[in-house]
Chain A
Amino acid sequence: MAEQTGNHENGAFERAVRTAAESGTDKPMVSNTKSNKQAPVVDEKPTDSPDLLSMYRRMVLCRALDERIWMLNRQGKAAIMASSQGHEAGQIGSVEALKKGYDQFYIYYRDLAVLLELGLTPTEIIKGFVAKEGEPLSGARQFPTHGAHPEYGIINLSNVVATHIPQGVGAALSAKMKGEDRVVIIYFGDGASSAGDCHEAMNFAAIHKLPVIFFCENNKYAISVPLKNQMAVDSVASRAEGYGMPGIEVDGCDITAVYEATFEAAQRARSGQGPSLIEAQVERYLPHTSDDDDSIYRPPEEIEEAKKRDPLQMLKDLLYSSDTLDEEQEDLINKDARQIVNEATEEAENAPYPATNDFYKHVVGDNPA
């Protein structure tokens, strides 16, 4: 049981674990192998003109799912939630420009839409929040939305801010050394851009011309700390020059602008021209997480103002203006999303909690590289 520690089994914890195992009252954990997951679809070549209507449908779903998880938190069922509302265009637009199932995605806690885009189902995602058996990223061991799904190229292990940025750079180094034309996109916030890990990773990636896209979702806050107390410049992208890579500022609420900027950066990366830093200016509509009260530090008018750039509304307006969407269709899309989310919630809530008889499983790695 405790072989990796050299500890005696003379403690109450060890005895309790052994008794539970022997009596067989506790059923084993669902296997953490990915056999129950569908094989990813590899997008060989992203289209030059993305299907905006389809992206709208996915954005509606993400928003509905996000709202539902927030509600589950308020009902005491999900311990913590960092909302993606206001970030969706940045997330969906960037994934659309990359090769799903091939490129790698080093994401952070706010990237709900990225998870959905890459293939996680709403049920799987909700299971992570309500900590249920069969949660595919970490077996409900790690923070919601955290863990890994290598088949989908998803790596999101830690929520110590910015620690994934050097790791993404390492993945890009490996792609380059293996001669693959894989691109690694690393998502992070404006706050994370102050961390030493971020600066060191950018410098390193630029020196070695690594196939990385540094994708900063700038919502102008690190929890309560506004941009002016985080950096003396007004643009994260402006720092790129100092590292020796292109820095691109883009309206992160405009899904086509994000798509285009990411597509270009991906081409640069794939063709050996090295990293790029994209700063997507997004909005955060809700508090930092469900544990936060933003009324203490954020005037409501500011949020109202930000909502004028709601990425969902902006995409909808675009679709209406090109006659790609009408009211009937819009209602249908909304209804569909609600239904998917309702069913997912029910399924996740009905799933059992993870069993408590395999505490030590995977503490020491046994997965061959």
Chain B
Amino acid sequence: MTEMILRDAVAKALREALDTDDRTFLMGEDIGAYGGPYAVTRGFLEDYGEDRIRDTPIAEAVFVGAGAGAAMIGMRPIVEVMTINFSLVAIDQIVNHAAKLSYMSDGQLSVPLIIRTVTGGGGQLAATHSQSFENWYASVPGLRVVVPATPQDALGLFRTCRKDNNPIIFAEHSLLYRVRGEVPDEYYEIPLGKARIARPGDDVTIVSYSGMVRVAEEAAEKLDELGISAEVIDLRTLSPLDLDTVVESVKKTNRAVVVEETWKTGGFSGTIASNIQEVAFDELDGPVLRINGPDVPAPYARNIEQAMIPSADWIVESVTYNFGL
């Protein structure tokens, strides 16, 4: 095992891709000399050259669309959209095209394009720079949505993504880049569609993904002090979705809370909650709770922003209040 931060795990995954597959190249804003806005590709330009590490103009539609175009003709490009907010500039290419080309060509074409992007709020970057749209993308058939929460998962999931033949949104939460974790030295992969039990427990299941996994873990610790044993599940990928692990857990705990950073209306927590109720209604001792950010654009002022992001205290309060624990 080697300890590393999530940023280095992603960099390692990208280097493996560039080292082992000459069809792979990177495109994005400021990924060259600058080494990436979040420093993931530092040193890449020197090591791989301008041909494979391409700085782009500020034109997301073209570099995502061109990525899809190259992918369907035999390349394995990886594009970096600086943040998921700007992916909206390219959403036509992603949703109307990349996601559907396999279907629309009756399987003759596939689009093995990895779209790496940064998601989440909490950095005082306000309304148009703090959003998370993983839930939107997860609703689109043909797209895969990968949301790692640990360095080990980031590397293992990315390795699997490279072998997948579909367009993939690989969303890295900006506040996770410095998170440390153990990463195995021997080669491993983590399949898409297999959730992780981040912490075992018996009384309540807390389901989350990406940046919220840490918050859920923190809540589980606080609940532990109150004598409540919480099981924390990290979904790892929203599409494909591993419902089995969630349902198995709920069968044991009989209570579920889904925690998600983005807005409640239309949140992925709704998908999880309704699925649990559909297949495990008789196992439940109470309603499936959803804890999301309020339906408000992210504010700049730190005090307001912090008050709006789901916290461990919200989870603890909700669990004790609603389940009478």
Binding site for B on A (CB under 8 A): 2, 4-7, 10-16, 79-80, 131, 138, 140-144, 146, 158-162, 191-192, 194-197, 222-225, 229-231, 296-297, 353-354, 356, 359-360, 363
Contact = CB atoms under 8 A, between A and B. Distances in A.
A279 B295 CA distance: 41
A194 B57 contact: yes
A12 B317 contact: yes
Contact of B294 (A138, A160, A229, A360): A360
A159 B129 contact: yes
B85 A143 contact: no
Contact of A7 (B89, B295, B317): B295
Contacts of B56: 225, 229
A225 B264 contact: no
Given A2-B295, A13-B314, A159-B128, A222 B58 contact: yes
Contacts of B264: 5, 7, 11
Interface string B308-323: 1010011101100110
Contacts of B61: 196
Contacts of B314: 11-13, 16
Contacts of B86: 160-161
Contact of B125 (A15, A143, A224, A231): A143
Contacts of B293: 13
Interface in B28-80: 29-30, 32-35, 37, 55-59, 61-62
A79 B126 CA distance: 11
Nearest to B264: A7
B29 A223 contact: yes
Contact of B34 (A158, A162, A296): A296
A359 B34 contact: no
B124 interface: yes
Nearest to B266: A5
A222 B295 contact: no
Given A161-B58, A363-B296, A225 B30 contact: yes
B279 interface: no
Contacts of B59: 194-196
Contacts of A223: 29-30, 34, 37
Nearest to B86: A160
B104 interface: no
A41 B291 CA distance: 49
A160 B128 contact: yes
Nearest to A141: B299
A-B pairs with the 4 shortest C-beta distances? A194-B57, A224-B34, A12-B314, A131-B301
A74 B242 CA distance: 45
Contacts of A5: 264-265, 294-295
Nearest to B309: A13
- Of B34, B86, B290, which is in contact with the most chain A CB atoms at under 10 Å from its CB? B34
B1 interface: no
Given A13-B291, A196-B61, 10 more contacts: A5-B264, A5-B294, A11-B318, A13-B294, A142-B299, A143-B127, A160-B88, A160-B89, A223-B37, A354-B303
25 contacts: A5-B264, A5-B294, A7-B265, A10-B322, A11-B291, A12-B315, A13-B293, A131-B303, A140-B301, A143-B128, A161-B86, A192-B58, A195-B57, A196-B89, A225-B30, A225-B55, A229-B56, A229-B57, A353-B301, A354-B301, A356-B303, A359-B296, A359-B304, A360-B294, A363-B297
Contact of A354 (B62, B304, B313, B322): B304
A143 B126 contact: yes
B296 A79 contact: no
A225 B29 contact: yes
A143 B121 CA distance: 13
A108 B287 CA distance: 47
B302 interface: yes
Contacts of B128: 143, 158-160
Contacts of B303: 131, 353-354, 356
Nearest to A135: B301
Contact of A4 (B33, B126, B295): B295
A18 to B, nearest CB: 12
B300 interface: yes
Contacts of A158: 128
Interface string B87-105: 0110000000000000000
